[in-house]
Structure formats: structure tokens, C-alpha cells
Amino acid sequence: MLDDPGALADGLADETWRQVRIEQRLIIRITPGIMGRDMPPPPPMPQPMMVLRGRHGGGCVALGGIAAIAPSSSDSQIVLLLRDRRQVVASLEKTCNARDFYVGFYAERSSDGMLCTGRDVIHSRAGASCMITRLREVGR
């Protein structure tokens, strides 16, 4: 403990202070396979090939609403399994291979918390980076 707190303040007054900038990034990891234990299982799909016959689901999906991913019948698509039990097919850029993302992917959380086509990039654990070009919701 200091006997004279003023001595510490005098010593600091002579120092040159530098500006420190702190930035925060939040990276979200999406894992493959089944959803978490506390979530109800998704309804059984008669055929995984049905994912190609969806309806337009908009240009964005809530990043926090993605529970898991699953393979698709196409080499350029992955299936996003949402927490509300919907399934959305995400089409990747032509140069991307969906197999790179079967073990999961990372996405940087944007200010609006959405994963959008033509804007956000997903990163595979193997090092590939791709932009999602289209989102289609799977019909029930």
C-alpha cells in the first residue's frame, strides 16, 4: 500500500498516454448433424432430395436461429436446420464445394444479426470461404 497516494498521481502525470482502441468481433460457429439435446428432433424427411423443391425464403436468415447444417443432394448447396424446425437450402457461389462445409462453418455476426445472400461470407473449418447466393425454404 502506498503511504502517499499523491506521489503515484505525480509520477503518472509525467507519462505520455497513448490511445487504446478495443474492437469486438463475434464469430458464430454452426455445427453439423443433429440439433441440441434440449431441442425437439426435426420431423423426419421422406427424402433428402426434396430440399431442392423449396420456395423463396428471402435474402436473409437469422444467424442465431440456425441450429445445425446438413448435406444436400447438390454439390453447391447446404441445408440450414433452423431452431423453429424449418429447413432452408443455402446455395453457395459456383466456385465453392458444399462438402467443405459439412463439418460446420463459421460466420461473423453482423450488426443486424442476419446471414444474408450477397453480403455475408461463411468460412469452413478447412479454410474455404464462400458467399451464400440464394436461400430457399423447404416446403412442408
Residue 100's Cβ-side half-sphere holds a number of Cα atoms within 13 Å equal to 16
Task: Write down the pLDDT at residue 84.
Answer: 92
Residue 16 placed within a domain? no
Range ranked top by mean pLDDT from 21-25, 42-46, 89-93, 135-139: 89-93
Could you tell me which residues come within 8 angstroms of residue 7 by beta carbon, excluding any fewer than 6 positions away? none
Residue 130 lies in a domain: yes
Each residue of 100-131: b (16+ CB within 10 Å) or e?
A: bbbebbebeeeeeebbbbeebebbbeeebebe
Per the domain annotation, does 10 fall within a domain? no
pLDDT band for 6, please (50, 70, 90 cuts): low
Which residues are bridge partners to 54 per DSSP?
A: 138
The model's pTM is 0.63
| Contact (CB, 8 A) for 77 and 58 | no
Confidence of residue 89 (pLDDT cuts 50, 70, 90): very high
Mean residue pLDDT of the chain comes to 77
Here the cell at position 58 is: 428471402
Query: What residue numbers bound the domain in which 98 lies?
Result: 23-138
Model pLDDT, residue 46: 41
- Would 14 be classed as within a structural domain? no
Query: Is the residue at 5 inside a domain?
Result: no
Question: Total structural domains in the chain?
Answer: 1
Exposed, middle or buried: residue 24 (CB in 10 Å: 0-12, 13-18, 19+)?
exposed
More confident residue, 22 or 111: 111
Average pLDDT over residues 43-64: 57
Give the pLDDT band (50/70/90) at residue 54.
very low
**Predicted local distance difference test score (pLDDT) of residue 8:** 58
In a domain, 8, yes or no: no
Q: Is residue 121 part of a domain?
A: yes
Q: Would 37 be classed as within a structural domain?
A: yes
